[in-house]
Amino acid sequence: MSTQTLSGKVALIQGGSRGIGAAIVKRLAAEGAAVAFTYVSSAAKSEELQNSIIAAGGKALAIKADSADAEAIRNAVNATVETFGRLDILVNNAGVLAMAPLDEFKLEDFDQTLAINVRSVFIATQAAARHMGEGGRIINIGSTNADRMPFTGGAAYAMSKSALVGLTKGLARDLGPRGITVNNVQPGPVDTDMNPADGDFAASLMALMAVGRYGTVEEIASFVAYLAGPQAAYITGASLTIDGGFGA
């Protein structure tokens, strides 16, 4: 009997080539899911990740798709279904972080923040839900900054992640009658190349955290894997914080 909780399932991860996204791809594959994931520019890393999963006996598909492009998102959903025959799990992980003082913040950066951090989640969910049945899982990757923004320059980012809280609740109502859950994972500071644990912000951020350290991408991925699995069937519409006490 297989101990893999996602055996026979198919997952699509928006933004899966590096950092938290790549860790989610690896974890869902380790749990038995066939995994498709999108990338924009990290072609070599994406091919390496895809091939490593296949070499280990899993199923994987790297798809080049810009999350700011609605048609590219829909095509990624269709490619996943065409390749693996179904779609059970969608993880909306693609995101951008633009920071600047209010009087210097560019409108194009504001628009891109909304397009990738919020609009792409709606588009991907709308497209993916057409292929999902009972037991479907949609998991958005938000941020603890939805609840706490303790430094200047992050207003647009915090706004975009707060928007996911409401979007998650509404989508949970829309899809609950079909047996599809929708949840929002809100990580705190996590050690990635975008925000390394030895980076410029690290000391100030760790001073705000109860556990005094950054999280790991594997810790976030394990939380996502739980929400994607059968034991989380009664959790929906929730924004679940995993932040080492950053918001405590």
Tell me the pLDDT tens digit for each residue of 76-133.
999 999 999 999 999 999 999 999 999 999 999 999 999 999 999 999 999 999 999 9
Domains and CATH numbers, the chain: 10-189+218-241 (3.40.50.720)
Distance CA 157, CA 117 (A): 8
> Which tokens in the block code for residue 101?
């003082």
172-177: long-range contacts, CB 8 A cutoff, minimum separation 24: 172/236, 172/237, 173/237, 175/129, 175/132, 175/136, 175/138, 176/236, 176/237
The pLDDT assigned to 7 comes to: 97
The pLDDT assigned to 108 comes to: 98
The pLDDT assigned to 2 comes to: 63
The pTM of the full predicted model, rounded to 2 decimals, is: 0.96
Distance CA 212, CA 144 (A): 16
The pLDDT assigned to 194 comes to: 82
Question: Is pLDDT at 174 greater than 60 in this prediction?
Answer: yes
Average pLDDT for the chain = 96
Place of tokens 């038995």: 32
Distance CA 165, CA 206 (A): 25
> For 21-39, what is the mean pLDDT?
98
- Percent of the chain whose pLDDT exceeds 90: 90
- pLDDT grade, residue 161 (50/70/90)? very high
Question: Is pLDDT at 21 greater than 60 in this prediction?
Answer: yes
Question: Is pLDDT at 1 greater than 60 in this prediction?
Answer: no
The 3-state DSSP class for residue 210 equals coil
**Which of the residues are catalytic?**
157
Question: Is pLDDT at 3 greater than 90 in this prediction?
Answer: no
Distance CA 41, CA 51 (A): 17
Higher pLDDT, 196 or 136: 136
> Which tokens in the block code for residue 29?
């594959």
User: Among residues 166, 128, 146, 134, which one has the least CA distance to residue 233?
Assistant: 134
Question: Is pLDDT at 201 greater than 60 in this prediction?
Answer: yes
The pLDDT assigned to 11 comes to: 98
User: Tell me: the pLDDT tens digits for 52-66?
Assistant: 999 999 999 999 999
Question: Is pLDDT at 41 greater than 70 in this prediction?
Answer: yes
Three-state SS annotation for 19-88: HHHHHHHHHHHHCCCEEEEEECCCHHHHHHHHHHHHHCCCCEEEEECCCCCHHHHHHHHHHHHHHHCCCC
